[in-house]
Amino acid sequence: MKRFRSSYRQLLPFLQTQRQTIGLALLCTCVFTAFWPLLAWLAGELLGALVQGDVPTLARLAGITAACFLVQKLAQYGQDALMAKAALAIALNVRKRIYRHLQTLDLSYFETTQTGDLSYRLTEDVDRIGEVVNKVFHDFVPCVLQLIVVFGYMIYLNWQLTLASLIAAPLLGVIIGWFGDRMLHFSRRSQNLVSDLSSLLTEVFSGIRLVRAFAAEDYEVDRFAQAAEHNRQAKYQAAWLRAVQFPVVGFLYALSVLLLLLLGGWQISQGNLTGKEFGSYVAAVGLLIDPIAHLTDNYNEFKQGEASSDRVFELLAIAPSVVERSNAVPLPPVTGKVEYRNVSFAYQSDRPILRQVSLLAFPGEAIALVGASGAGKTTLVNLLPRFYDPQAGQILIDGVDIQSVTLRSLRRQIGIVPQETVLFSGTIAQNIAFGQPQFDRAQVEQAAKVANAHQFISQFPNGYQTWVGERGVNLSGGQRQRIAIARAVLLNPRILILDEATSALDSESELLVQQALERLMIDRTVFIIAHRLATVRRADRILVVEQGQIVESGTHEELLRNGDRYARFYAQQFS
């Protein structure tokens, strides 16, 4: 119950944004509910007129009843339409809020989180929250009001009979609560298994070439079958629980109705109740059946929604480790001077990646970082755009501490061409101008020409409007890389990071990409990470990184003359 209140409390700000729509819906609900005792009274009057054979009175009462039903149903329409509008708006706001929050989290979170799980939380779980909000105001509140109003009318008719009929209510409440707690447990388990299944699908479909290459289709089918079976079992347990719940609650309710009939007959025999009043009373009891059934069903759905709410708002509780300071200022246009001062960093406190690293890169200088895998090269450059923050030391650009400026102004002045190019569904032009909703087509074409991409783009029937499939599967590796270079050209950064930008290309593509990179590097401060030393020979300075420290520094010729680590790396590659 405490957790439910916590989830509900986190929804309150989102409910506040729709308070006007919800208020109008509740007004319609009040009108809708107010007609129930009137309809119960009319049912008794109609029964009396029917027994007496009074046709004119029967016709008049039927007309009044029809008019009451019409007004009530119009109020019900207003309630349903308005609450659907509010619930969908709330779900949209929750989804946007969670997505915006995810954009603030650092890379380490996404490196350890399943993509399928995040997708499920942002889609299915958020939708379920919207459904629960809709149920609360569209179904739960009207049912509660209907119970209150009808019970009030029943007490007005005969309080002794009403009091006696409530004997079974505590037992019903306890049973419904027990079923609800079990339903919450099964719902959480089922939703976690569905998110695991979604993650499995995401992994397999994104790595389908590897599956084919290793002839692992049967292996993946078996893995999927096991995950799907676990999900089926969890869903069946929840369905079985519902199947047991309704007969149990229905049987107890039927016993309550039989008890009511016995007590009603006794009250009539004692002269405390007339036949017409008992007819109205029975009609009122009939009006209780539907709301009680709905409340039972709603309670189960609320428990399922609680599991979704917990999973969604769990994400908001995750605090980003890279945070923009409250007094951060925009970084003015820079010349490209970069300085690392005694920088230390570790992903895990007991495993340092960088140890007291200091370096100074001057504007327009090309710095190459070489060394074995895991030496800390990529980590070193990832600290520059503040993908992570160091545990010790400072990083400055043009003498300004990067932690004192806004993240957007910092990252818009740093271009990155990674080893694995990421393209998004959209046109080639949109991918080149990524992050710019409004862009100049001529500038996009000029950037593509600099990146040696204009020629192959122009050969497509739709040119720059050619649709790029998911992750750029419609393009070759060299084409994707040149689009990534064009993206960096259009950004026009003063600082450029090239992270193994040519390592996965064939010789022809590498030549085209290398030419494009050389044009891109002109008059920029460049950090080059490369395992293939042939690509770094023309760098102004080469830094050899080993176990998180810079152990050698110099030009290609100087380091070869030294005959130390770089010379050994070079000899191994070109022996």
Q: Average pLDDT of 169-185? A: 64
The residues near 247 (Cβ < 8 Å, ≥ 6 apart) are none
Judge contact between 338 and 360, C-beta under 8 A.
Answer: yes
Judge contact between 264 and 278, C-beta under 8 A.
Answer: yes
Residue in 173, 146, 167 with CA at minimum distance from that of residue 263: 167
- Report pLDDT for 402: 94
Who has greater pLDDT, 555 or 114?
Answer: 555
Structure confidence by residue, pLDDT tens digits, 443-482: 888 888 888 888 888 888 888 888 886 666 667 777 888 8
Structure confidence by residue, pLDDT tens digits, 393-409: 999 999 999 999 999 89
Who has greater pLDDT, 337 or 7?
Answer: 337
Judge contact between 515 and 345, C-beta under 8 A.
Answer: no
Residue in 495, 575, 491 with CA at minimum distance from that of residue 533: 575
- Report pLDDT for 235: 74
Who has greater pLDDT, 10 or 331?
Answer: 331
Residue type, 230: H
CA 245 to chain centre: 33
Write down the domain spans for the chain: 10-316, 338-574
Asked whether residue 217 carries a pLDDT value surpassing 80, the answer given is no
Number of CB atoms found within 10 A of residue 494's CB: 20
Q: Average pLDDT of 124-151? A: 80
As a whole number, the mean pLDDT across the chain is 79
Helix (H) or strand (E) holding 130: helix 126-135
Q: Which CATH class is domain 10-316?
A: mainly alpha
Q: Which residue has the tokens 């779900």?
A: 91
Number of CB atoms found within 10 A of residue 198's CB: 21
Q: Would you identify the CATH topology of the domain 338-574?
A: Rossmann fold (3.40.50)
Give the pLDDT band (50/70/90) at residue 375: confident
Q: Average pLDDT of 10-20? A: 86
Give the pLDDT band (50/70/90) at residue 128: confident
Pairing of the two strands 495-499 and 467-468 = unpaired
Asked whether residue 332 carries a pLDDT value surpassing 80, the answer given is yes
- Report pLDDT for 9: 75
Structure confidence by residue, pLDDT tens digits, 414-440: 988 887 777 777 888 888 888 777 888
Question: Helix (H, G, I), strand (E, B), or coil: what is residue 178?
Answer: helix
Structure confidence by residue, pLDDT tens digits, 250-290: 676 666 667 766 776 777 777 766 666 666 666 666 666 66
Q: CA torsion sign, 15 to 18 to 20 to 21?
A: negative
Question: Helix (H, G, I), strand (E, B), or coil: what is residue 528?
Answer: strand
Residue type, 21: T
Asked whether residue 506 carries a pLDDT value surpassing 60, the answer given is no
- What's the CA gap between 132 and 451, in Å, rounded? 51
Residue in 154, 540, 158, 121 with CA at minimum distance from that of residue 369: 540
Residue in 147, 221, 231 with CA at minimum distance from that of residue 195: 231
Q: Average pLDDT of 516-523? A: 79
Give the pLDDT band (50/70/90) at residue 339: very high
Q: How many CA atoms lie within 13 A of 181 on its CB side?
A: 7
Judge contact between 43 and 283, C-beta under 8 A.
Answer: yes
- Report pLDDT for 403: 94
Structure confidence by residue, pLDDT tens digits, 50-73: 777 777 888 888 888 888 888 888
Q: How many CA atoms lie within 13 A of 515 on its CB side?
A: 12
Judge contact between 457 and 428, C-beta under 8 A.
Answer: yes
Percent of the chain with pLDDT over 90: 12
- Report pLDDT for 4: 43
Judge contact between 92 and 73, C-beta under 8 A.
Answer: no
Asked whether residue 1 carries a pLDDT value surpassing 60, the answer given is no
- What's the CA gap between 471 and 423, in Å, rounded? 5
Tokens of 486: 């064009």
Tokens of 220: 């993946």
- What's the CA gap between 198 and 114, in Å, rounded? 9
Asked whether residue 505 carries a pLDDT value surpassing 60, the answer given is no
- What's the CA gap between 333 and 102, in Å, rounded? 28
Q: Average pLDDT of 239-258? A: 69
Residue in 331, 388, 389, 341 with CA at minimum distance from that of residue 361: 341
Q: Average pLDDT of 15-39? A: 85
Q: Average pLDDT of 323-346? A: 92
- Report pLDDT for 245: 67
Asked whether residue 5 carries a pLDDT value surpassing 50, the answer given is no
